[in-house]
Amino acid sequence: MPQVAAPLRLLLPLSQTLAAPAPLLHHSRRLLSSCPASLSRAAGLRALAYRRRRHTEPRRGTSTLGKAPAKEEMDKEVAFNRKRAEGKDGGKRGSMELKTRRLNPVNTTCYVQILGTGMDTQDTSPSILLFFDKQRFIFNAGEGLQRFCTEHKIKLSKIDHIFLTRVCSETAGGLPGLVLTLAGIGDEGMSVNIWGPSDLDFLAGAMRSFIPNRAMLHTHSFGADRNASSPQSTDSVIVLDDEVVRVSAMFVKPKYNNGTGSSNDSDMKPGDTAIVYACELPEIKGKFDPSKAAALGLRPGPKYRELQLGNSVQSDQFDEMVHPSDVLGPSIPGPTVLLVDCPTQYHMPELFSLHPLSCFYEDSPEQSGKKVNCIIHLGPSPVTRSVDYQNWMKKFGATQHIMAGHEIKNMEIPILKGSARISSHLNFVCPQLFPSSGFWSEQPSNDVMENDKSVSSEACGSVSAQNLLKFHLRPYAQLGLDRTSIPNLFTYKDFVEELVSEIPAIREVPEQVCKFWQNNVNDNNILTPTGNHMGEEQWINKKSDKVDDGTLFQEIVLRKHPRDNQEIPCCVEDATREDMEITFLGTGSSQPSKYRNVSSIYINLFERGGILLDCGEGTLGQLKRRFGVNDADEAVKGLRCIWISHIHADHHTGLARILALRSKLLKGVPHKPLLVIGPRPLERFLNAYSTLEHLDMQFLDCRHTLKSSVEAFLSENDTDPATPQLETTMFAPGTRMENYNRKPASPRDTTALANFKEVLQESGLEILYSVPVLHCPQAFGVVLKAMEKANSTGKVIPGWKVVYSGDTRPCPGLIDASRDATVLIHEATFEDSMKDEAIARNHSTTKEAIEVGTSAGAYRIILTHFSQRYPKIPVIDEVDMEKTCIAFDLMSVNLADLPVVPKVLPHLKVLFKDELVVDEAEEVQEAAVY
């Protein structure tokens, strides 16, 4: 595909860029190159016919556009998809029945491969790929698996089976997102077989809270009920047995000691039981000897083939049967791989005494030719490097051991190279907003360091796993390790040198950006980029503020404040760097991608703890990439509450991992359950999931945190225990959206409300309340307002106000809630030319998001939740950009830095001036398939 000229390329919607015919693009390049520099932008941009705006007639049932409503209803009417808001937009999907693949019993290729999810952040268990010509198996699906596979072009759509070594957030945190991604592929969707112990039923039940289509979940549990009191099986369970592989499972249950020498299972959870999988390939038949066949009276032909397949045939010359053993050489035992998950020291006694494993020991009389070629150890380093564990490994003799658990050396190796590259480039340009990632200078935790000293050398035949390391099983001649796919190592210095060599002009940018902080630039000054490289190929194109689509919402928000004539708010002017900081842990929508994780925002209140707003898959990993392993653990321990906007999976599937880790970190330390505020369906998911792991949380329905309810409760005048009413909202009884909120809220938990009040006090917040928004049933935005404080002169300063929209169409309720906000964080899923798509999915365009903040008088607007159509940077038209910023993953915005944040944005575009839309399109296409 021909390359598109940069000025043209940056203004085309991605889909239209790909669809444009080559001659048209070539003509556009000639047009722009032939124009004088002064006219190239103005004439070229105005003449772009491909940047079409979709002005279609409103569709019945999906939009309230059309005839202008009565004047008194203007503030209540917004363009949105009502069916989606009411939860009635689910189209008929296929049964997603599993496809039956035609297997190849004589595989030409077979290997196991390390998919090292979590190796740099140590927050999830790595996944293992077992590859055959016609079949694919994945063992464990922790958070981040989709991002890792997208980066390395591993097609998860080819997977037939997923096996779990434990049913917990560490090994299955990425499973919900993966199931939903597969279900969205093609017209009918896809599904895979999911295997695990009977505990898998708990997980499947929990997932059905937000995966209503049962066809998406083809789960198969094996083994007896594994509750705390059930006896432990001493036999293996054959899970899968076909012509290419036999997979069997062995149960490993922890044995806790209560100090009296006896085991104590009182703290046992179903998710604590681990599984050891044995994958045995069929034996390799011996070589066929034609001379022996001829001596037995066989003529060349079909009977030769039958003998090679293991079938006996009648001799052509003699009255006798010819058996395969008569004409074949000695068979070679099929390769065997063991996957051993020993998560804690308490699992070791049970593992060492497993009877089904004894046949694989070197000195076992039961071995009878069985040999393990490769053992992949998934346990963490403190366990697998212990003396007892290493002695147990020696029982297998000359076996290749791959230590795939958490290793010290891997903590400084980012798994997601594409994301790490962009983060490093942004850090080089503006370290104030993009601090150095935690993994570049990470120090191992004390328990890992001390454990490493206990074993000075690795056991014979063991190697540390590396990302994409393979162990070939077939062809038999290639049996052994294969390191050819392992990615090259890289450092921060490598990324910066690469950036400077590709974009020499970038050398000037850090110094220009640094002046904003050095000079303490006044917020009312309008700065323009300097240097010739900033004056051409502007990434942000100026558009007039004229509204040309006639929508009612545009009429509402046209009542704007003067362009950035706001004074710096007192809470910002007198802010210290220890007041508040916003860190964006995920800024993408729908599913994780190579460059952007899904939604999550960490509000850092420093000594007063922190608050998470949404918690998509991979949130814990992003915390550790931003702050480092140890500091991220401290942040998790210091969380005051987690607020979830709605039940869509890209906003909450990282929650269980955070809660489970916090419970583990605070075990034995006096603490209160963590308050989780969210829509009612989320409570059902958490309650069901808590049967697997200790979550140690307390739930509060968002509808009990509406503004009127919170204000009444805080003033101690709330004596009515009934469900809070919504008379002041667009969903009140008698309105057109009444049925949107027809289900009652859950009964109010007075204990949770008391905890909520304590959270506000401990966090230094005057109020936190939820705002109903237009997206799906029970979708909310949130408002956080800090308490007032006195500055150094004794003057009382109002507290800052942060508003987060969640997912929504622009709506008057959110505008009212955002009045005079210090920061409005608003979703901007689609570019301006895709407004119809935004209405259909109840999302906002970038222009609409900016107009919400502008009409509300917000001091700063930060856009987030970008469609993965824009993998690196979204398409933005400049509308009130003087007060607006684009969020990137791992970006941290301090309250004290708000005056200069919008002025940095034009300088950041230098990083992307040479990006090809074609490359980005390939990434999106790949992400859609996985």
pLDDT below 70 — which residues of the chain? 1-77, 90-94, 106-107, 119, 224-234, 258-267, 366-369, 408-412, 438-460, 519-566, 716-748, 877-880, 914-930
Q: Please, are residues 119 and 410 in contact by the beta-carbon 8 Å criterion?
A: yes
In this structure, what token pair is assigned to residue 622? 């992003």
What is the DSSP code string of 650-669?
Answer: GGTTTHHHHHHHHHHHTTTS
Query: For residue 650, what are the CA distances in angstroms to 58, 592, 597?
Result: 29, 8, 9
**CB neighbours of residue 163 within 10 Å:** 25
The residue count for the chain: 930
- Domains 110-224+234-255+269-284+332-405+465-482 and 576-716+745-889 alike in fold: yes
Taking alpha carbons only, the member of 476, 460, 469, 464 closest to residue 399 is 460
Q: Please, are residues 797 and 789 in contact by the beta-carbon 8 Å criterion?
A: yes
Give the three-class secondary structure for 714: helix
Give me the sign of the Cα torsion angle 587, 588, 590, 592.
negative
Amino acid at 856: A
Cα–Cα dist 314/928, whole Å? 55
Query: For residue 217, what are the CA distances in angstroms to 97, 104, 161, 254, 293?
Result: 10, 26, 12, 29, 51
In this structure, what token pair is assigned to residue 745? 């809220």
Label residue 679 left, alpha or beta by phi (over 0 means left) and psi (-120 to 50 means alpha): beta
Query: For residue 526, what are the CA distances in angstroms to 207, 521, 523?
Result: 50, 10, 8
Angle between the N-to-C axes of helices 629-637 and 655-665, in degrees from 0 to 180, rounded to the nearest 10: 90
Interacting residues of 499 by C-beta distance below 8 A, sequence separation 6+? 424, 425, 428, 506, 911
Give me the sign of the Cα torsion angle 581, 889, 930, 485.
negative
Give the three-class secondary structure for 370: coil
Query: For residue 457, what are the CA distances in angstroms to 211, 343, 389, 397?
Result: 47, 21, 13, 17
What is the DSSP code string of 499-516?
Answer: HHHH-GGGGGHHHHHHHH
Strands 321-322 and 313-314: antiparallel
Cα–Cα dist 391/393, whole Å? 5
Strands 639-643 and 674-678: parallel
Cα–Cα dist 484/479, whole Å? 14
Interacting residues of 188 by C-beta distance below 8 A, sequence separation 6+? 93, 94, 95, 96
Q: Please, are residues 161 and 146 in contact by the beta-carbon 8 Å criterion?
A: no
Amino acid at 298: L
Out of 3.60.15.10, 3.40.190.10, 3.20.10.10, 3.40.50.1820, select the CATH number for domain 576-716+745-889: 3.60.15.10
In 3-state terms, the chain is what percent helix, strand and coil (to 5)? 35, 20, 45
Exposed, middle or buried: residue 575 (CB in 10 Å: 0-12, 13-18, 19+)?
A: buried
Cα–Cα dist 80/836, whole Å? 10
Measured between alpha carbons, how far apart are the two ends of the chain, in Å?
23
Any idea where the domains of the chain sit in the sequence?
A: 110-224+234-255+269-284+332-405+465-482, 290-326, 413-431+484-514+903-929, 576-716+745-889
Q: Which residue has the tokens 């969640």?
A: 806
Q: Output the 3-class SS for 205-267.
A: HHHCCCCCCHHHCEEEEECCCCCCCCCCCCCCEEEEECCCCEEEEEEECCCCECCCCCECCCC
Taking alpha carbons only, the member of 252, 612, 513 closest to residue 623 is 612
110-224+234-255+269-284+332-405+465-482: CATH topology: Metallo-beta-lactamase; Chain A (3.60.15)
Q: Please, are residues 887 and 863 in contact by the beta-carbon 8 Å criterion?
A: yes
Query: For residue 733, what are the CA distances in angstroms to 219, 778, 810?
Result: 42, 16, 21
Query: For position 437, what pLDDT does the model report?
Result: 75
Taking alpha carbons only, the member of 205, 3, 190, 283 closest to residue 685 is 205
Amino acid at 315: S
